[in-house]
Amino acid sequence: MDVQALRSQIERIDTLPTIPSVLRKLLLIIENPKVSLNEIGSFISNDLVLTSRVLKVVNSPIYGFPGRVSSISQALILLGLNVVRGMLLGVSVFEAMQKTMLGLWEHSLGCAVTARIIAKRKDLKEPEEVSVAALLHDIGKVVLGLKFPDEYKKIMSDAETKENFIFDAEKNHFNINHADAGAWIAQRWNFPRSLVEIIEYHHKPHLSKNVPVQTAIVHLSDILVRAKGFGFAGDNFVPAINSSAWQSLDLSETDVKEILKEMEDSLSQAEDFLLSDE
């Protein structure tokens, strides 16, 4: 299939019958760039499962408001529309994530936690925005897995038997990888330009023009979470770090050690969050 045909197939993913109904409803809302805080708030509040998931995530170590957020409207005020939009998508795709690739949700949460730690260390103004980008960075794997379930299974077993990176196995099969697929769908869903760019370039952070620091942070988070073996992202190898991204982050050895220490606590809390019941 040529790339253009693949892209238009992926962009029509909303029409797939396997898309969970809550996600379908949600897409109608988040695709609209003019949606208001009130509309999102009442949409979430009308869905009990969604409400409890969102509150769980907001009160988890990922967003750093432990036990302090008790309503959706409060979450929207604290985190802002873009973060809540991304988080909603994150919590809605988690079943699809587990179905496509067992461990991908853990990997994504681990990256969200880690990206927030690094973003705070780099004094970024919006650590939550980087964190939500990290939560969604592998959305392309879900999209490919939902759209082409049999082919994606084969790609995964190829990666396993040939001991390849998952992005190489994807590329061998589709001529594109999950970062491309993720960027297409994020664009189609009218996600902010910065989020699209982070998803598109999380394996090639030097290509990011508008948000190079944020992209480098998600790139490093992915590497650290895989290095620690938290979750599963499609293969059991740590990808190489991009030299210019690494240099641009300018982290000292002490910084890295401190990040690893903070990850210890936050990942165990994230694990607890993952294991806790609905």
Partner 1 sequence: MLKVSVNNLKPGMKLAKPVINEAGIMLLEESTELTAALIDRLQNMNVSSVFIEGASKPQKSKEEIMLEIDARFRKTENEPYMGMLKRMLKEHVEELYK
Q: How far is CA 232 from CA 60, 104, 176, 228, in A?
A: 21, 5, 21, 11
Please tell me the count of residues contacting partner 1 according to CB under 8 A. Answer: 39
35 lines the binding site for partner 1 (CB under 8 A): no
d(CA 278, CA 268): 18
For residue 67, the minimal CB distance to partner 1 (Å) is 4
Q: Which stretch binds partner 1 (CB under 8 A): 30-38, 94-102, 128-136, 249-257?
A: 249-257
* Residues 6 or more apart in contact with residue 241 via CB below 8 angstroms: 219, 220, 223
Told to check if 78 binds partner 1 by CB under 8 A, we report no
Q: How far is the CB of 6 from partner 1 (least distance, A)?
A: 27
Q: Does residue number 227 form part of the binding site for partner 1 (CB under 8 A)?
A: yes
Q: Taking CB under 8 A as the rule, does residue 167 contact partner 1? A: no
Which of the stretches 96-104, 128-136, 189-197, 268-276 binds partner 1 when contact is defined by CB under 8 A?
Answer: 268-276
Binding of partner 1 by 236 (CB under 8 A):
yes
Residues found in the chain: 278
* Residue 220, both tokens: 């490093």
Quick one: 74 or 190, whose CB is closer to partner 1? 74
Residue 1: CB minimum distance to partner 1, A: 29
Output the smallest distance, CB 70 to partner 1, in A.
Answer: 5
Q: Render the burial of 153-175: b for 16+ CB within 10 Å, e for the rest.
A: eebbebbeeeebbbbbbbbebbe
Min CB(9)–partner 1 separation in Å: 31
Give the count of beta carbons closer than 10 Å to the beta carbon of residue 68. Answer: 11
59 near partner 1, judged by CB under 8 A: yes
Could you say which of 29, 37, 238, 274 contacts partner 1 (CB under 8 A)?
238
Q: Which amino acid is at 187?
A: Q
Whose Cβ is closer to partner 1: residue 5's or residue 275's? Answer: 275
* 114 within 8 A of 263, measured Cβ to Cβ: yes
Residue 141: both structure tokens together: 């794997």
Under the criterion CB under 8 A, does residue 226 sit at the interface with partner 1? yes
257 forms part of the interface with partner 1 (CB under 8 A)? yes
DSSP calls for 235-259 = SSSPPPPPHHHHHHHT--HHHHHHH
Measured from the CB atom, is 2 or 250 closer to partner 1? Answer: 250
Of the candidates 140, 142, 136, 139, the residue with the CA atom closest to the CA atom of residue 109: 136
Residue 31: is it exposed, middle or buried by C-beta count within 10 angstroms (0-12/13-18/19+)? middle
Q: Residue 171, interface with partner 1 (CB under 8 A)?
A: no
Q: Which two tokens stand for residue 167?
A: 């992005």
Token readout for 214 is: 């944020």
Q: Which is nearer to partner 1, 112 or 142 (CB)?
A: 112
Q: Which residue carries 């980087």 as its tokens?
A: 130
What residues make contact with partner 1 under the rule CB under 8 A? 52, 55-56, 58-59, 66-70, 163, 165, 223, 226-229, 236-241, 243, 246, 253, 256-257, 260-261, 264-265, 268-269, 272, 275-278
